Amino acid sequence: MDVDTIYALGTPVPSRAHPGAISVIRLSGPRAAEALIFLTERLAFERGHSARDPALPEPRRMVVRSLYDPTSGETIDRGLAVWFEAPNSETGEAMAELHLHGGRAVVAGALDAIARLGFCRMAEPGEFTRRAFENGKLDLTKAEAIADLVAAETDQQRRQALQQMDGALYRLYEDWRTLGLRTLAHLEAAIDFPDEDLPAGIADEVHDGITRLQGEITAHLEDRRGERLREGLHIAIIGPPNAGKSSLLNLLARRDAAIVSETAGTTRDVIEVHLDLGGWPVVLADTAGLRDSSDAIEQEGVRRARARAASADLRLLVLDATGDWRSERGKLTAGTERWDDARDIVVVNKTDRAPVDAADVASVSALSGDGLPALLARIERAAEALMQESGAPPLTRARHREALIECQESLARALTASEIALAAEDVRLVMRALGRITGTVRIDELLDIIFRDFCIGK
Ligand code: GDP
């Protein structure tokens, strides 16, 4: 099968406002060597051959090269070139990299020059990584980790992506596949024996294997750290109208993301702000004021606020220091689903107007910013407690979760199967589901979906 030689700009597209110091263009595929020669040896393309011997730089060694227009021979830029021989490259194919000046005209000229060679095409999003996968350089969990690493906005997200890129998840799922394979071998052996000759211990081995898998997968599914870290820890700001929820959100976000208003009950929908608190990605949601109302829209807002509070990882209950906040606190914490005194945080606001002296609450003034550092420290501590390391690599994607839930269903069926052959079939389904996560079992539509989310040039 003919494989295309692909190319793409690996660095951001330079704009007039943001030209880069350098830009990197990568080529991968069987004709990458030819492309590199034609681009860096003046008029070799016109001649149809190279005059220099050897025309290719030593593999994996950066060399200074001029980049030429293949037809006119005009110099486009002078930069660095690297050459990687297959299979010792990121994609596993022959690859070339051009490190050029990051100007708009340079990059446009270089991309145009490559296009005019006529035998290279622009890469699709994620195509380099996909080729690395196809060539056995990485499994799907590592490929997904690369996408996560590129998307990481906080230190903790970066750490998690790096751990996964190093194969932590891959090893976990492969271990389970090995255990599944061993269990399957026992089952298949048992199928070959008539009942009375069944070697002692096989039934126990099978039972132990299946229950161990069930236990480990259950623990993994219950561990929400990975998804929290990828998507952000959800914090809901709740409280009565006018307590200063929007003002607090604005202060935390240091930008005008929520409407601050003097009229009670204006924040009717849920407003989200993404923050980095001490390396933890946080999605802070301002919700409608919790109060009884006859207004239909406001009732809907309150319903959403309650739902949001219940599904959040952490709740901030904001109360007004100038009112009877102690009795409101009792009433509202009791009425909030999943409220946890040990974890969720009571914020008493407007201390500029009424000082608050209570150790178990965070007292702040959203107006002056007083008490904000202490509140942030509290949120950070709560986030840390929620994300505490357990040593095992956490589940990071809904795609993996779905496959693992399938595993659990098959395992449960295998345990109660009426015939050994049926149990074996169920264990085979477990292996397939695990294989889909890592890509050992390949499904083309799935690959299309996964790699479509990558950026071009990755
Ligand atoms: P929400 O309904 O809970 O979102 O409350 P808002 O953030 O809209 O604030 C209600 C009113 O209280 C507005 O007039 C704010 O300016 C005012 N406010 C908010 N925080 C403070 C504060 O710390 N001190 C004082 N004095 N006023 C505040």
Q: What is the pLDDT of residues 398-408, one digit of tens each?
A: 999 999 999 99
| Atom 24 of ligand 1, nearest CA residue | 350
Which of these, 228, 337, 335, lies nearest to 282 by C-alpha position?
A: 228
Ligand 1 atom with least separation from CA of 364 = 23
Ligand 1 near 353 CB (within 6 A): yes
CA of 367 to the centre of ligand 1 (A): 7
What lies within 8 Å, CB to CB, of 297 at 6+ separation is 268
Ligand 1 near 370 CB (within 6 A): no
Poorest-pLDDT segment among 170-174, 203-207, 249-253, 353-357: 249-253
| Atom 17 of ligand 1, nearest CA residue | 244
The pLDDT, as a whole number, for residue 183 is: 94
Could you tell me the pLDDT band of residue 263, with boundaries at 50, 70 and 90?
Answer: very low
Position 261 pLDDT exceeds 70: no
Ligand 1 binding pocket mutation candidate from 247, 271, 352 (most atoms within 8 A of CB):
247
Q: Which tokens in the block code for residue 360?
A: 């178990």
Average per-residue pLDDT in the chain? 89
For residues 273 and 310, the model is more confident at 310
Could you tell me the pLDDT band of residue 134, with boundaries at 50, 70 and 90?
Answer: very high
For residue 275, the cross-strand partners are 282
Ligand 1 near 49 CB (within 6 A): no
Could you tell me the pLDDT band of residue 255, with boundaries at 50, 70 and 90?
Answer: low
Ligand 1 near 355 CB (within 6 A): no
Position 266 pLDDT exceeds 70: no
CA of 6 to the centre of ligand 1 (A): 56
Ligand 1 atom with least separation from CA of 260 = 8
236 three-state secondary structure: strand
Average pLDDT over residues 153-164: 91
| Atom 10 of ligand 1, nearest CA residue | 242
CA of 311 to the centre of ligand 1 (A): 25
The pLDDT, as a whole number, for residue 262 is: 44
Rounded CA-CA distance 25/11 in Å is 8
Ligand 1 near 252 CB (within 6 A): no
CA of 382 to the centre of ligand 1 (A): 25
CA of 301 to the centre of ligand 1 (A): 19
Domains and CATH numbers, the chain: 5-123 (3.30.1360.120), 142-223+396-451 (1.20.120.430), 233-386 (3.40.50.300)
Ligand 1 atom with least separation from CA of 349 = 23
| Atom 9 of ligand 1, nearest CA residue | 244
Ligand 1 near 363 CB (within 6 A): no
Identify residue 168 by its one-letter amino acid code: A
Report helix angle 104-117 to 32-40, nearest 10. Answer: 120
The pLDDT, as a whole number, for residue 270 is: 63
Scan for tokens 């993994």, then name that residue. Answer: 220
**% of the chain at pLDDT higher than 70:** 93
The pLDDT, as a whole number, for residue 437 is: 96
Most confident of 266-280, 286-300, 334-348: 334-348
Ligand 1 binding pocket mutation candidate from 237, 242, 291, 332 (most atoms within 8 A of CB):
242
Query: 355: cis peptide before it, omega within 30°?
Result: no
Ligand 1 near 75 CB (within 6 A): no
Average pLDDT over residues 51-71: 92
CA of 237 to the centre of ligand 1 (A): 14
Position 257 pLDDT exceeds 50: no
Ligand 1 atom with least separation from CA of 259 = 8
CA of 242 to the centre of ligand 1 (A): 6
Contact assessment for residue 16 and residue 133, using Cβ atoms and an 8 Å cutoff: no
Rounded CA-CA distance 43/69 in Å is 8
Ligand 1 near 380 CB (within 6 A): no
CA of 244 to the centre of ligand 1 (A): 4
Which of these, 67, 117, 128, lies nearest to 94 by C-alpha position?
A: 128
Phi/psi for 100 (5° steps) reads -115, 175
Ligand 1 near 141 CB (within 6 A): no
Ligand 1 near 261 CB (within 6 A): yes
Q: Dump the DSSP string for 19-59.
A: -EEEEEEEEESTTHHHHHHHHHSTTHHHHTS--STT-SPPT
Position 260 pLDDT exceeds 60: no
Ligand 1 atom with least separation from CA of 368 = 23
Average pLDDT over residues 311-318: 93
Q: How many CB atoms lie within 10 A of CB 55?
A: 16
pTM here is: 0.79
